[in-house]
Chain A
């Protein structure tokens, strides 16, 4: 069974530029999550989708971050414009129906200069 796929793995941009990350969850997993992991900290939930609907985006900085999951499968997370403090690893995870267990992708490491 294929795991959660993410791309790109690494991205370096300058502040005020925009960037997008892509995630393809495990087949059959209706719930998809985006996390931000700052160096030295645990992951922090940014947004949770159930199929193509948003369940929780309370910690998403909506002035600069956006996310979509149009067909209920893969998802994109965008930052526009990026700030220095956005430097982090962005993790995507998915979970099967009726389960609290989340399966994580390899992450995208973002460096904002």
Chain B
């Protein structure tokens, strides 16, 4: 079964600095991977997804992620943080359990952007 690990429950960066949020998955097969963002008191919004096409995936709001099979990683990056990026970010993967496929989420990383 697929599992998702997000390293660092809290990440703090300065405005304009690089954002790096880490995600590792466990699987022996190419996965379907996603990054979602959740702003306070809101639902989850899709940032980007990997579906076995290009390994570098570009998403909304200037975010991108690179799928690295050798490292079983799918880290999320943004070159320059903006105050509006402050939110919680979830990495997720499709897993097959009990004969059905389901989306399994990491525990989330809360991003703080300091002025």
Interface residues of A (CB under 8 A from B): 4, 6, 33, 40-45, 48, 55-56, 58, 91, 93, 100-107, 109
Contacts and interface: CB of A to CB of B under 8 A. Distances in A.
Given A41-B108, A42-B90, A100 B101 contact: yes
Contacts of B100: 48, 55-56
B92 to A, nearest CB: 7
The 4 closest A-B pairs by CB, nearest first: A42-B105, A104-B43, A104-B44, A56-B100
Given A100-B32, A100-B94, A101-B49, A42 B43 contact: no
Interface in B64-115: 90, 92, 94, 97-98, 100-103, 105-108
Contacts, number: 55
Given A40-B107, A43-B90, A109-B41, 15 more contacts: A33-B103, A41-B107, A42-B106, A42-B108, A43-B44, A45-B103, A56-B102, A58-B98, A100-B49, A100-B103, A102-B103, A104-B43, A106-B42, A107-B42, A107-B43
A49 to B, nearest CB: 12
B34 interface: yes
Contacts of A48: 100, 102
